[in-house]
Amino acid sequence: MLPGKRYRDMNNFKFKNVVRQYGILIGLIGLITVFSILSERFFTLSNMLIVMRQTSFVAFLAIGMSFVILGAGIDLSVGSVLAFSGAVGAGVMQNGGVFLGILAGLAVGAGLGAFNGIVITKLKIPAFIATLAMMAIARGGTLVYTDGRPITGLPSSFGFIGRGYIGNIPFPIILMFIIFVLAYIVLKLTRFGRYVYATGGNINAARASGIKVDNVIISSFTISGFLSGLTGIILASRLNSAQPTAGMGYELDAIAAVVLGGTSLFGGEGELWGTLVGAFIMGILNNGLNMLNVSSFYQQVVKGIVILIAVTVAQSGKK
Amino acid sequence: MNDLALEFINISKSFPGVQALKEVSIQIKKADVHAIVGENGAGKSTLMKIAVGELLRDAGVIKVFGREAQINSPFDGYRYGISLIHQEFSLVPTLDVAQNIFLGRELTRGYLSFMDNNLMYKQTEKILDSLKMFHLDPCAKVKDLTVAQKQVVEITKALSLNSKIIIMDEPTAALTLEETRRLFEVIRELKAKGVTILFISHRIEEIFEIADKVSILRDGELILTKSVAQINRDQIINNMVGRSLEFIFPPKVKKKEEAEVILEVKKISKERQFTNISFQLKEGEILGLAGLVGAGLSEVALSIFGLNHLDEGELYIKGEKVNINSPFEAIRYGVALLPEDRRELGLVIVRSVLENLTLPSLYWDIARKYFIDLKRELSLANEVQKELSLRFASFSQKVESLSGGNQQKVVVGKWLLTKPKILIMDEPTRGIDVGAKLEIYNIVNALAQKGIGIIFISSEFSEILGIAHRVLVMSEGRITAELDPKNSTEEDILKFATREKVS
């Protein structure tokens, strides 16, 4: 090997990764700084807790989405699965009690996710199409199940999950960090996590290394579905009702968070903390622009532009 | 002198670490079929790519029809009427024949430049008719064509570009005998029309059948150019192979006298790939599997590893009949595969050295109960690094930034960690430099000494003879000979590797 080449490789290796991996964090700090200067109500403890609670919904979905995208897939059905799980959970809860209701909601989410995975691996349908179909099926299923009306009259004890506090901290925030830590451990410290990265990075090489790649993909989609179900339950608790239109468009926020976080849509590359930062950026943009009284119409434009800028910067660091 | 179509004068080209061409000069007469032969890596394809501007020469002059040509980009080849037909086609499978032929230069008419489909189909048909062969429908989708038909599409495209010189890079490699015969008819017709053909081939027989002249390249140098009438088969082979082995193979490890048979392959077949393959592999034996591209070597390897399902035949490991339907099962039985295409099948190049090294052994060793034993992982990886003298900056370095030789060693390392009994190495030294090759040979010997049975597949015959205890030669999906490297030569292998189907 030529000495010059080796030297260059080593340099590339250090420098580009720093830009790529930490650029998004710098972006988050920059965003917080800008909003803090523009609005004095922004950087206060109470507002930060509000931001985090808002963020948690996207964060749950984005963490699940990370597993899917790291495995070189995509899940467009999370918003609809969320709604269906919330509706079924709320429905079961009315007669069966809180515990059974939550369990039912989670089971529906995980089940639909597993179904996605099976369709993709066994019927060999691209993830984009399979989950697009599920997006329609689950949304339609929700409307059928609820007859298009919110399910209300949920037990009061159910309110804790979405509206409760532990100390001063809203419960969804705590749950978000618990889920994040668990997901982080799974991705970094378990065999399955390695398999997700390897399958996403090169499915043929992964298979040729003895990995049962179908199982890896099915599991990733099951995790995404499960977390969608969890989000549906929390959202139902927070709103004290299951809305048939809940979670519409959330899939795009979740994908945006993952991509903002530096994960490659081709799979195999990306870090979970980036996803969390990406979710926070989405949340802070919402909150900050609200505080500055930017109309919700313009907010969408701004969000889109921020995604473009962030991904452009990330790519320039890659080369 | 004006009857020369193409003239290479002192063409040189080097790639990092390799001198691919050294002052090669060849004269090609108008309307000749001129064959270029040589071993893998002799520089044939490089020279042809330089001729059309796909590669830039470092030095030298190219003359086309007597005048110096400025061929500096892929577009220049077309300008001078030279077309190169690659081994891999550059056709769009979802478009039809005519659309492919006029791709990028569609004929148009009127102010709005609408495509003139009529004219394009007519012109295509005209050229196809003029070739008097292959009833090829201009409206047929390219993906539905056979390899030979695709070749004809490429030739038609070249003719529609008014190419006077057509270069074919191993056009017959994937063709059946019948298809080859028809392709040769086309070549003869082109020749009759005054088109000059450069023809790269591995198959010596074909040269005598179709070519007027032959040029032999070896290690980037022109050995000779001769009229086919003035040379015979043995002379061609002798000159292709030469005696200039540039490095010495490490001394062979002794085969154990009473070694146990660990793998027995019994009459395995797969349609269109290989037929009736049987052999035995003993503990600590290095079994060479030699053949030309397309002989079915890789397909046999993939079958033993569970990535290519067999139509017929049986596998026995240590005397026990086994069914290997996936790499997972192969690993369970102690079979490992160093694939021919390491970036596609061997490595996850976007992940780190460490993750690649331990990927197949997580399940069996390092992470038996879901969680990865990080300490054990690192210590095992360290052992392998020492054993193979792997060189990299850190274990967290991405594999894509390693050199070819080190990438290959990572693949070897990842399989060593699964403690294989049988290691299949498919072209393990392809695309790596000479120093790294020698290291790979040393590793192969060391592994054999440890008792691992090794199937060493290569289309470089010198290497097979230098490393293997026993050599099986394959041609067109069949085993044509078993040779003892001690009293065999590269010529012997080549003879059996080019043997046509006897059936």
Query: Given an 8 Å threshold on Cβ–Cβ distance, is A194 in contact with B359?
Result: yes
State the pLDDT confidence band at A319, using cuts at 50, 70 and 90.
very low
The strands making up B18-29's β-sheet, listed across from edge to edge, are: B18-29, B4-15, B59-64, B67-68
pLDDT of residue B19 exceeding 90: no
For residue B348, the chain A residues in CB contact (below 8 A) are 197-198, 201-202, 205-206, 268
- Percent of all residues in chain B with a pLDDT value above 90, rounded to a whole number: 46
Q: Measured between CB atoms, which of A10, A194, A264 is closest to B355?
A: A194
Cβ of A201 under 8 Å from any chain B Cβ?
yes
Residue-wise pLDDT tens digits, B184-225: 888 998 899 899 999 988 777 788 999 999 999 988 899 999
Could you tell me the two tokens for A239? 């709103």
pLDDT of residue B253 exceeding 70: yes
Could you tell me the two tokens for B371? 């969680």
Residue B68 DSSP SS3: strand
Could you tell me the two tokens for A221? 């989609």
The whole-number pLDDT of residue A27 equals: 84
At A52, the amino acid letter reads M
Query: Given an 8 Å threshold on Cβ–Cβ distance, is B345 in contact with A204?
Result: yes
Residue B255's closest CA among B438, B460, B467? Answer: B467
The whole-number pLDDT of residue A21 equals: 61
Residue B179's closest CA among B147, B144, B203? Answer: B147
Identify the residue with better confidence: A169 or A296: A169
The owner of tokens 């109500």 is A41
For residue B363, the chain A residues in CB contact (below 8 A) are 191, 210-211
Residue A64's closest CA among A243, A245, A203, A263? Answer: A263
Q: Give the whole-angstrom CA distance, residue B348 versus residue B346.
A: 7
- Kind and range of the H or E run holding B270: strand B261-270
Distance from CA of B346 to the nearest CA of A (A): 5
Cβ of A84 under 8 Å from any chain B Cβ?
no
Least trusted range by pLDDT, from A142-156, A242-256, B88-102, B439-453: B88-102
Average pLDDT over residues A261-272: 92
Cα distances from A129 to residues A69, A75, B53, B67, in angstroms, run 15, 9, 42, 57
How does DSSP assign B294-344, residue by residue?
TSSHHHHHHHHTTSS--SEEEEEETTEEE---SHHHHHHTTEEEE-SSIII
Could you tell me the two tokens for A47? 């507002």
The whole-number pLDDT of residue B433 equals: 66
The whole-number pLDDT of residue A81 equals: 98
Could you tell me the two tokens for B205? 């027989």
- The CATH H-level (homologous superfamily) assignment of domain B4-241 is P-loop containing nucleotide triphosphate hydrolases (3.40.50.300)
For residue A9, the chain B residues in CB contact (below 8 A) are 393, 401-402
pLDDT of residue B501 exceeding 70: no
The whole-number pLDDT of residue A123 equals: 97
Identify from A16, A190, A209, A214 which residue to disrupt to test chain B contact, counting B C-beta atoms within 10 A and taking the largest count: A209
CA-based radius of gyration for chain B: 25
Query: Given an 8 Å threshold on Cβ–Cβ distance, is A208 in contact with B17?
Result: no
Cβ of A189 under 8 Å from any chain B Cβ?
yes
CA-based radius of gyration for chain A: 20
Q: How far is residue A314 CA from its own chain's centroid?
A: 19
Measured torsion, CA atoms of residues A31, A37, A38, A41, in degrees rounded to the nearest 10: 100
Query: Given an 8 Å threshold on Cβ–Cβ distance, is A208 in contact with B345?
Result: yes
Angle formed by the axes of helices A272-291 and A250-260, to 10°?
120
Least trusted range by pLDDT, from A189-203, A205-219, A270-284, B249-263: B249-263
Q: Cβ distance A72 to A269 under 8 Å?
A: no
Mean pLDDT of chain A: 91
The whole-number pLDDT of residue A15 equals: 59
The 8-class DSSP code of residue A156 comes to G
Nearest residue of B to residue A207 by CA position? B327
Q: Give the whole-angstrom CA distance, residue B441 versus residue B455.
A: 13
The whole-number pLDDT of residue B32 equals: 93
Identify the residue with better confidence: B41 or A221: A221
End-to-end CA distance of chain A: 22
The whole-number pLDDT of residue B138 equals: 86
Q: Cβ distance A238 to A162 under 8 Å?
A: yes
Cβ of A214 under 8 Å from any chain B Cβ?
no
What does chain B come to in residues? 503
Average pLDDT over residues B127-137: 74
Nearest residue of B to residue A211 by CA position? B328
Nearest residue of B to residue A204 by CA position? B345
Alpha-helix residue ranges (DSSP H) falling in B359-482: 374-388, 404-416, 434-449, 461-467
CB atoms within 10 A of CB A10: 15
Strand partners of residue B268: B277
- Kind and range of the H or E run holding A120: helix A98-122
Residue-wise pLDDT tens digits, A4-27: 333 344 444 455 556 656 778 888
Q: Measured between CB atoms, which of A6, A10, A268 is closest to B351?
A: A268
Handedness of CA A210, A215, A221, A222 (dihedral sign): negative
Residue B247 DSSP SS3: coil
Q: Cβ distance B130 to B190 under 8 Å?
A: no
Q: Give the whole-angstrom CA distance, residue B148 versus residue B320.
A: 43
State the pLDDT confidence band at B491, using cuts at 50, 70 and 90.
confident
Query: Given an 8 Å threshold on Cβ–Cβ distance, is A1 in contact with B397?
Result: no
Is CATH 3.40.50.300 what the domain over B262-334+421-496 is classified as, yes or no? yes
For residue B351, the chain A residues in CB contact (below 8 A) are 197-198, 201, 268
Query: Given an 8 Å threshold on Cβ–Cβ distance, is B331 in contact with A208?
Result: no
- Same fold yes or no, B4-241 and B262-334+421-496: yes
Cβ of A10 under 8 Å from any chain B Cβ?
yes
Q: Cβ distance B203 to B121 under 8 Å?
A: no
List all residues 6 or more positions away from B409 whose beta carbon is below 8 Å from its beta carbon. Answer: B388, B389, B390, B436, B439, B440, B443
Residue-wise pLDDT tens digits, A194-221: 999 999 999 999 999 999 999 999 999 9
pLDDT of residue A317 exceeding 60: no
Least trusted range by pLDDT, from A72-76, A158-162, B90-94, B300-304: B90-94
Q: Cβ distance B298 to B338 under 8 Å?
A: no
Query: Given an 8 Å threshold on Cβ–Cβ distance, is B348 in contact with A1?
Result: no
Q: Give the whole-angstrom CA distance, residue A158 versus residue B336.
A: 54
Nearest residue of A to residue B305 by CA position? A208
Domain boundaries, chain B: 4-241, 262-334+421-496, 349-419
Residue-wise pLDDT tens digits, B366-419: 888 889 999 999 999 999 999 998 888 889 999 988 877 889 999 999 999 999
Q: Give the whole-angstrom CA distance, residue A284 versus residue A31.
A: 8
The whole-number pLDDT of residue A64 equals: 98
Nearest residue of A to residue B415 by CA position? A209
For residue A269, the chain B residues in CB contact (below 8 A) are 350
Residue-wise pLDDT tens digits, A92-126: 999 899 999 999 999 999 999 999 999 999 999 99
Query: Given an 8 Å threshold on Cβ–Cβ distance, is B330 in contact with A189?
Result: no
Query: Given an 8 Å threshold on Cβ–Cβ distance, is A191 in contact with B372?
Result: yes
Residue-wise pLDDT tens digits, B416-460: 999 999 999 999 987 676 667 788 999 999 999 999 999 999 888
The owner of tokens 């709604």 is A83
Average pLDDT over residues B254-271: 88
The owner of tokens 């799979």 is A267
Identify from B337, B338, B351, B357 which residue to disrupt to test chain A contact, counting A C-beta atoms within 10 A and taking the largest count: B351
CB atoms within 10 A of CB B126: 13
Average pLDDT over residues B293-309: 91
Cα distances from A269 to residues A69, A290, B113, in angstroms, run 9, 34, 45
The whole-number pLDDT of residue A118 equals: 98
Average pLDDT over residues A265-292: 92
The whole-number pLDDT of residue B232 equals: 86
Could you tell me the two tokens for A117? 């995975």
CB atoms within 10 A of CB B161: 17
Q: Cβ distance A79 to A60 under 8 Å?
A: no
The whole-number pLDDT of residue A12 equals: 46
